[in-house]
């Protein structure tokens, strides 16, 4: 005989045990006193018993795939960021894939991206912003960046444009937004799609002509990542969001196997016309649940991941403020080594939600970036380079280098500078003032040794 009188009672008891487990074993880990020399990661998860209880709650449902927690997150995330539609996927990379693939749909008419069309982007960034275009057969057009913003050089946009250009797809770098006003105006002038890779900038605000919005909502489509180092986490996970109903339908189709039907998993015939349509060359009345209007994928998130995200989203505003505090404190602490290091600057009109703190070794300093980062790493502080540095220098380009599979505007001189002189350290919400101060001390030692 069960010792519980109801399922609700059983769930509550299980979640009470999870809380006790967190208090006994996980909370001490997170609140451990910092001592100089302890490992300082560039990023980490920040959570408490609420995420663990929500995760267990979803596991007890044993629905496993997209379900009630996913629905709740999509609704609340869309409300928070300020869009009509948000769709969860299994990673930020998948979010970029879906965002791009949606723009290849024939429903978009003359604006449909086809093989051989051009997409303006940058080589100084993360590869999965560019990979979908290359794999599809579109032509990425690489434009240089500027320092100390580390974002696209908007003075090169007109030079990058051609009659084949269909879209601009670029990321906001480590929380610092690119010049959205100039890029948005350029896209409007030439009737181009704008995809904001917002994976490293969730929570950043940007103002154009007196109107302030979150980054990711100024373009036609925005994307986010919920990988553990990012602004909030689901473990793995991502999101694609838009205000356009047609784009939203296309995003859902490409995410959900490419099917034409929009019924959620586990639900059938919401439209009442499941067996009376005519599609392609299929027989009349073919089951609409199995009609495929696009070459799609299954990139849905699990409900366990979404359950973690639901609780993370509640904490997210405090995460943003902590990142800003840590970034400001570190920048102030490093002001006296500006003769050796280029310190980052926020974009005009922005209030960034910082992902990391970018530093470039000045060429005239005579310092070697790798020696500087090795000293910092030797003191147990994680560093990272600005992702690919210059993507077209990587082995993945070996077989297409020098072909017409991509195009470069100018010489990417600043991109190459970033590749050889730039690195970054973390400012995630788990950083305390003591950790930030110690990190600043070691960075100063590294450039003054």
CB distance 64 to 222 below 8 Å: no
Query: Which sign, positive or negative, has the C-alpha torsion 262, 266, 267, 273?
Result: positive
How far is residue 396's CA from residue 24's CA, in Å, rounded to a whole number? 47
- Token pair for 420: 């050889």
Please spell the DSSP secondary structure of 107-132, one letter per residue.
GGGGG---TT-EEEEESSS-GGGTHH
How far is residue 164's CA from residue 149's CA, in Å, rounded to a whole number? 28
pLDDT score, position 158: 98
Strand 85-89 to strand 118-122: parallel, antiparallel, or no bridges (unpaired)?
unpaired
DSSP code of residue 40: B
How far is residue 322's CA from residue 66's CA, in Å, rounded to a whole number? 31
pLDDT tens for the chain, 449 residues long, are 578 899 999 999 999 999 999 999 999 988 889 999 999 999 999 999 999 999 999 999 999 999 999 999 999 999 999 999 999 999 999 999 999 999 999 999 999 999 999 999 999 999 999 999 999 999 999 999 999 999 999 999 999 999 999 999 999 999 999 999 999 999 999 999 999 999 999 999 999 999 999 999 999 999 999 999 999 999 999 999 999 999 999 999 999 999 999 888 778 888 888 999 999 999 999 999 999 999 999 999 999 999 999 999 999 999 999 999 999 999 999 999 999 999 999 999 999 999 999 999 999 999 999 999 999 999 999 999 999 999 999 999 999 998 999 999 999 999 999 999 999 999 999 999 999 999 999 999 999 98
Please spell the DSSP secondary structure of 55-83, one letter per residue.
HHHHHHHT--SS-HHHHHHHHHHHHHHT-
Strand 139-143 to strand 407-408: parallel, antiparallel, or no bridges (unpaired)?
parallel
Most distant CA pair in the chain: distance in Å?
A: 78
Q: How many CA atoms lie within 13 A of 142 on its CB side?
A: 26
Dihedrals phi, psi of 132, to nearest 5 degrees: -55, -40
CB distance 360 to 338 below 8 Å: no
Q: Ramachandran region of residue 205, left (φ > 0), alpha (ψ -120 to 50) or beta?
A: beta
Q: 29-32: long-range contacts at Cβ-Cβ below 8 A with a sequence spacing of 24 or more? A: 30/430
Active site residues: 230
Beta-strand runs (E) in 271-374: 341-342, 350-351, 356-361
CB distance 167 to 194 below 8 Å: yes
- Token pair for 220: 């036609």
Which of 46, 70, 43, 95 has the alpha carbon at shortest distance from 305? 70
DSSP-based helix, strand, coil % in the chain, nearest 5: 40, 15, 40
At which residue do the structure tokens 């093989």 appear?
115
Within 10 angstroms of residue 380's Cβ, the number of other Cβ atoms is 14
Specify the length of the chain in residues: 449
Residues with Cβ within 8 Å of 392's Cβ and at least 6 positions away in sequence, in order, are: 123, 142, 401, 406, 408, 412
Task: Identify the three-state secondary structure at position 7.
Answer: helix
How far is residue 219's CA from residue 183's CA, in Å, rounded to a whole number? 9
Q: What is the dihedral of CA 28, 34, 40, 41, to 10 degrees?
A: 20
How far is residue 188's CA from residue 203's CA, in Å, rounded to a whole number? 24
pLDDT score, position 4: 87
pLDDT score, position 87: 98
pLDDT score, position 449: 84
∠ Cα 117 132 261 (to 5°)? 95
Residues with Cβ within 8 Å of 338's Cβ and at least 6 positions away in sequence, in order, are: none
CB distance 146 to 182 below 8 Å: no
Task: Identify the three-state secondary structure at position 221.
Answer: strand
Which of 424, 414, 339 has the alpha carbon at shortest distance from 381? 424
CB distance 160 to 130 below 8 Å: no
Which of 439, 70, 432 has the alpha carbon at shortest distance from 264? 70
pLDDT score, position 1: 55
């Amino acid at each position: 005989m069960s010792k519980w009188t109801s399922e609700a009672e059983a769930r509550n008891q299980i979640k009470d045990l999870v809380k006790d487990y967190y208090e006994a074993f996980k909370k001490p880990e997170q609140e451990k006193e910092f001592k100089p020399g302890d490992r300082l990661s560039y990023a980490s998860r920040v959570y408490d018993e609420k995420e663990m209880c929500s995760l267990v709650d979803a596991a007890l449902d044993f629905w496993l795939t997209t379900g009630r927690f996913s629905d709740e997150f999509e609704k609340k995330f869309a409300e928070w960021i300020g869009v009509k539609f948000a769709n969860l996927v299994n990673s930020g990379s998948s979010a970029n894939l879906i965002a791009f693939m949606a723009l290849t749909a024939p429903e978009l008419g003359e604006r449909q991206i086809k093989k051989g069309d051009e997409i303006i982007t940058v080589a100084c960034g993360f590869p999965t912003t560019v990979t979908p275009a290359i794999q599809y057969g579109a032509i990425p057009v690489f434009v240089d960046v500027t320092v100390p913003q580390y974002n696209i050089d908007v003075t090169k946009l007109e030079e990058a444009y051609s009659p084949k250009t269909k879209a601009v797809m670029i990321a906001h770098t480590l929380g610092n937004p690119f010049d959205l006003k100039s890029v948005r105006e350029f896209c409007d002038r030439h009737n181009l799609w704008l995809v904001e890779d917002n994976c490293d900038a969730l929570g950043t605000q940007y103002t154009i002509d007196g109107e302030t919005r979150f980054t990711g909502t100024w373009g036609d489509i925005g994307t986010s990542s919920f990988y553990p180092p990012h602004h909030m986490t689901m473990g793995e996970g991502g999101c694609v969001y838009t205000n356009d109903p047609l784009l939203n339908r296309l995003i859902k189709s490409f995410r959900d196997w490419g099917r034409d039907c929009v019924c959620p998993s586990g639900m059938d015939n919401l439209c009442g016309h499941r067996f009376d349509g005519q599609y392609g060359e299929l027989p009349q009345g073919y089951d609409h649940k199995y009609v495929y209007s696009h070459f799609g994928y299954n990139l849905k998130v699990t409900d366990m991941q979404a359950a973690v995200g639901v609780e993370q989203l509640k904490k997210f505003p405090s995460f943003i403020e902590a990142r800003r505090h840590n970034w400001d404190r570190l920048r102030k602490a490093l002001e006296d080594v500006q003769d050796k290091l280029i310190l980052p600057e926020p974009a005009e009109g922005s209030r960034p939600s910082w992902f990391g703190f970018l530093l470039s070794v000045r060429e005239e300093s005579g310092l070697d970036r790798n020696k500087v980062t090795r000293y910092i790493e030797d003191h147990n502080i994680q560093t990272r380079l600005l992702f690919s540095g210059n993507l077209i220098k990587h082995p993945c380009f070996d077989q297409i280098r020098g072909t017409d599979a991509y195009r470069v505007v100018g010489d990417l001189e600043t991109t190459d500078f970033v590749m050889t002189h730039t690195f970054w350290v973390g400012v995630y919400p788990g950083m305390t003032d003591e950790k930030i101060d110690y990190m600043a001390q070691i960075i100063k030692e590294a450039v003054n040794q």
